[in-house]
Amino acid sequence: MLIKTIKIMFIRCFVMLFVSYHLIGCSEQNTQTAQLTFSPSYSGVILNCQSIFNLKNTAWHYQKFQMYISNVELFEKESGWQIWPMKTTPYQHSNVALIADNCGELQQINNLSKEIRQKEDTNWQIILEPTSTQNIATKIRFTLGVPFELNHLNPLTQPSPLNFPSMFWVWQTGHKFLRIELASQDEHWLFHLGSTGCTAPSVMRSPSQPCKQPNTVVIELPFNPKNKNIHFDIAKLLAEIDVTLDTSCQSAFGDKNCLQPLNNIGITGKQQVFSIEGK
Amino acid sequence: MLKILNSLLMISLLVACSKAPEQTSKIASYQWPIIEGFPKPQVPRTNPMSTEKVALGRELFYDVNLSFNKTQSCASCHIQSHAFAEPLTVSIGSTGQQHRRNAPALVNIAYNKTLTWAHDGLITLERQILLPMFGEQPIELGITGHDVEVLQRFDTLRYRELFVQAFYGKAPSYELIVKALSSFIRSLISLDSPFDRYAYLGDDNAISTSALRGMNLFFSEKLECHHCHGGFNFTQSTSHEKQLIDRRPFHNTGLYNVIDPTNAENMQAGIGGYPKLDIGLAEISQKSEDNGRFRAPTLRNIAVSAPYMHDGSIESLGAVLDFYAAGGREISKGINQGDGRKNKYKSVFIKGFKMTEQDKKDLLAFLHTLTDNSFLTNPAFKRPR
């Protein structure tokens, strides 16, 4: 009797599990998680908008951290590099994702729920289509920036997140690929990365040829299927930069304030800003 | 047993994969006066647009019966030829009381992410309109205390007919008045300037070479104008059907840095803020870093909506350019004395820049290309007969 009851219970559990698997299955297609997580950090310590890091004995924090990541690819011995397609979400379209932390511009609004604040204000994940390659890949690469074909289109007709005015300069130069703004009590430092040297009849016209300085960076990292956390190390970005002297760089060609940031992010030097967590 | 299991699985699959029928949404018949490709504004679900509501809202907008003493209508401070702003430093209400702020232009308000000069929670016109109607500090239309009497004025044959058409037979009420006014104000769309013809219709000859130079300057990193006045509406505070990510930016431009003589410590350190009369967003958020932060207004039709800034304290567009070139404003005398350029909460983008006389002319020429004459003279927005 007891054995029979256990048997029935076992079958019931099995059925329940199967049913729930299918219920989830049709909305998600596959329950396997396929996402990359980005975290801003300072020398390995993960930061948020309130976190302090010290530069020349002064407390600094970031006020804005936004970037476009495009064309994620995985490398696996047999088939080489393969695109890892992104899902379409408000933060992702055409294999371009916006990673963003706007530091609580919404936090002041009393009647917004915490979920909405977080949802609207921050996005640290890239949600990808599950692929079997993700279990065997050894390397990952992605582009910091928006591909030329998508970078200079009419922002009005673009889908989110490519229609986001605070990440768009003008048709001629296109999107800001990276927008990072730091602040201390009395000072600011900012770095806006984007294409320059784009030939167009005016700022409101698109270039027909790729820009002289596309300023996109392909980041290649070792891939560990169990650790998909990617750090953006602000300490590495600021290497050899005196934030109190070289106060801002907006990618202008020849701007001396841009020499070191462009080197550190990997345009003119070897990038060290992105790394797999713990490596 | 296996049979039962199988049929259960089949049912589970069927249930799991059948989609709920899509909700049939009412398709609004209202035609936005926008060119192909422009995203449509988002309108509250509780107040969809209709031509009948817009028509009623227009009557109400121009009707002095909406003020308690029949002296003012919305249009008293929002004048079409001035892009629905007014040429006064600050507005004056129906009792003669001065407002502390300059009447903002009503241009493409339907796209505004937030309303008024500095309020991050005020996101629908239906709520904002209550302020001029019922607000007591300051008194604008002054309906509070006279609400029965004022509402009765709309119990006329003409209005009853308009209400019936707009609201399917409902009698006049404040809720419906607010909805109709909101609809009319949302209909005030201006996207037909020479700039639009250049930028969005590809007409290379729509603006002068001077304006073209000014436009290139405006969008340069040297001047940084577009950081706050960016996007198709020339304000970052824009939202529309395709804008899925919310941002509500407010900025301190270094207009003031008033040293508070009652605070000896601050006096000594030279730390001030905006005049107590109006500290901007900080009044709502209670955060000191929001002191002096205001919403960047659209620059569309900016040439006709002088004077400028939240308190109308800059008279002309040329003076506004000088102000930004200087990276803020120093006031050397009077109660507002202080160097706004050194305001500690000033936006990082207000750094000042060098501007030649020619640059200034070009920038002004560009700003004038944002004047949309068809908007300023559109008969559909005029006082109804």
Residue A105 has pLDDT above 70, yes or no: no
B213-245 confidence digits (pLDDT tens)? 999 999 887 898 988 888 888 887 667 665 555
Q: What is the pLDDT of residue B123?
A: 83
Candidate from B5, B244, B249 with C-beta closest to A160 = B244
- Upper half-sphere CA count for residue B197 (Cβ side, 13 Å): 15
To the nearest whole angstrom, how far is the Cα of B68 from the nearest Cα of chain A? 32
Chain B contact for A155, CB < 8 A? yes
What does the radius of gyration of chain B's CA atoms come to, in whole angstroms? 24
Chain A contact for B357, CB < 8 A? no
Tokens of B350: 């207000």
Size of interface A-B (CB pairs under 8 A): 110
A110-128 confidence digits (pLDDT tens)? 444 454 444 456 889 999 9
Candidate from A26, A108, A166 with C-beta closest to B16 = A26
Distances (CA, A) of A81 to A74, A76, A140, B183: 5, 7, 8, 54
To the nearest whole angstrom, how far is the Cα of A43 from the nearest Cα of chain B? 26
Chain B contact for A114, CB < 8 A? no
To the nearest whole angstrom, how far is the Cα of B157 from the nearest Cα of chain A? 41
Query: Which of the two residues, B123 and B319, has the higher pLDDT score?
Result: B319
**Quick check: A102 and B247 CB within 8 A?**
yes
- Which B residues 100-129 touch A at CB under 8 Å? 120-121
User: Which residues of A fall within a CB distance of 8 Å from B238?
Assistant: 165
Q: How confident is the model at residue B327 (pLDDT cuts 50, 70, 90)?
A: very high
Chain B interface test: which of A9, A19, A20 (most B C-beta within 10 Å): A19
Q: What is the pLDDT of residue B292?
A: 93
Q: What is the pLDDT of residue A45?
A: 93
Long-range contacts of A108-117 (CB under 8 A, 24+ apart): A108/B120, A108/B281, A108/B284, A108/B285, A108/B287, A108/B290, A109/B120, A109/B121, A109/B248, A110/B121, A111/B121
Candidate from A98, A188, A202 with C-beta closest to B215 = A202
Query: Which of the two residues, B162 and B261, has the higher pLDDT score?
Result: B162
What does the radius of gyration of chain A's CA atoms come to, in whole angstroms? 22
Q: What is the pLDDT of residue B114?
A: 85
- Domain-wise residue ranges, chain B: 51-190+375-381
**Quick check: B348 and A181 CB within 8 A?**
yes
To the nearest whole angstrom, how far is the Cα of B125 from the nearest Cα of chain A? 17
- Which B residues 145-204 touch A at CB under 8 Å? 198-200, 204
A172-208 confidence digits (pLDDT tens)? 999 999 999 998 887 889 999 999 999 999 999 999 9
Chain B contact for A165, CB < 8 A? yes
Rounded average pLDDT over B50-78: 97
**Quick check: A154 and B15 CB within 8 A?**
no
- Phi and psi at residue A5, to the nearest 5°: -60, -45
Q: What is the pLDDT of residue B268?
A: 60
A116-162 confidence digits (pLDDT tens)? 444 456 889 999 999 999 999 999 999 999 999 999 998 878 888 99
Q: Give counts: helices (H), strands (E), chain A.
A: 5, 16
Candidate from A19, A201, A202 with C-beta closest to B12 = A19
Question: At CA A164, angle to CA A159 and CA A170, rounded to 5?
Answer: 105
Contacts of A42 by beta carbon, 8 Å cutoff, 6+ apart = A51, A53, A233, A234, A235
A216-236 confidence digits (pLDDT tens)? 999 999 999 888 899 999 999
Chain A contact for B353, CB < 8 A? no
Q: How far apart are CA B205 and CA A158, in angstroms?
A: 26
Q: How confident is the model at residue B22 (pLDDT cuts 50, 70, 90)?
A: very low
- Which A residues 36-75 touch B at CB under 8 Å? none
Chain B contact for A199, CB < 8 A? no
Burial A155-174 (b: 16+ CB within 10 A, else e): bbebebbbbbbbbbbbbbbb
Candidate from B17, B245, B285 with C-beta closest to A160 = B245
Query: Which of the two residues, A90 and B140, has the higher pLDDT score?
Result: B140
User: Which residues of A fall within a CB distance of 8 Å from B199?
Assistant: 204
Residue B202 has pLDDT above 70, yes or no: yes
Q: How far apart are CA A50 and CA A68, in angstroms?
A: 23
Residue B294 contacts residue B251 (beta carbons within 8 Å): yes
Closest listed residue to residue A202, CA positions, set B13, B204, B178: B204
Q: What is the pLDDT of residue B227?
A: 82
Candidate from A108, A157, A160 with C-beta closest to B243 = A160
Contacts of A107 by beta carbon, 8 Å cutoff, 6+ apart = A117, A121
Percent of chain B with pLDDT over 70: 87
Tokens of B265: 């410590």
- Which B residues 22-51 touch A at CB under 8 Å? 37-39
Q: How far apart are CA B296 and CA B298, in angstroms?
A: 7
User: Which residues of A fall within a CB distance of 8 Å from B2?
Assistant: none
Tokens of B309: 């800034």
Closest listed residue to residue B206, CA positions, set B367, B369, B377, B371: B369
Q: How far apart are CA B327 and CA B347, in angstroms?
A: 10
Q: What is the pLDDT of residue A180?
A: 94
Tokens of B68: 């308690």
Which residue of B lies nearest to A14 if distances are taken between CA atoms? B5
Which residue of A lies nearest to B13 if distances are taken between CA atoms? A22
Residue A101 has pLDDT above 50, yes or no: yes
Residue B289 has pLDDT above 70, yes or no: yes
Q: What is the pLDDT of residue A244?
A: 83
Candidate from B245, B247, B344 with C-beta closest to A186 = B344
Residue B31 has pLDDT above 80, yes or no: yes
To the nearest whole angstrom, how far is the Cα of B236 from the nearest Cα of chain A? 6
Structural element, H or E, at residue B375: helix B373-377
Q: How confident is the model at residue B293 (pLDDT cuts 50, 70, 90)?
A: very high
Q: How far apart are CA B4 and CA A79, in angstroms?
A: 44
Q: Give counts: helices (H), strands (E), chain B.
A: 16, 4
To the nearest whole angstrom, how far is the Cα of B172 from the nearest Cα of chain A? 30
B133-149 confidence digits (pLDDT tens)? 999 999 999 999 999 99
Q: What is the pLDDT of residue A121?
A: 65
Question: At CA B236, angle to CA A168 and CA B92, rounded to 5?
Answer: 160
Neighbours of B16 (CB within 10 A): 16
Q: How confident is the model at residue B85 (pLDDT cuts 50, 70, 90)?
A: very high
CATH of domain B51-190+375-381: 1.10.760.10
User: Which residues of A fall within a CB distance of 8 Å from B284?
Assistant: 108
Residue B220 contacts residue B88 (beta carbons within 8 Å): no
- Which B residues 276-315 touch A at CB under 8 Å? 281, 284-285, 287, 290
Closest listed residue to residue B29, CA positions, set B43, B49, B44: B49
Contacts of B30 by beta carbon, 8 Å cutoff, 6+ apart = B48, B49, B50, B51, B54
Q: How far apart are CA B311 and CA A191, in angstroms?
A: 33
Strand A35-42 versus strand A229-233 pairing type: parallel
**Quick check: B1 and A11 CB within 8 A?**
yes
**Quick check: A154 and B37 CB within 8 A?**
yes
A24-82 confidence digits (pLDDT tens)? 444 444 446 799 999 999 998 999 888 999 998 899 999 889 999 999 999 999 999 99
Residue A242 has pLDDT above 80, yes or no: yes
A3-30 confidence digits (pLDDT tens)? 555 566 555 645 555 544 444 444 444 4
Residue A86 has pLDDT above 70, yes or no: yes
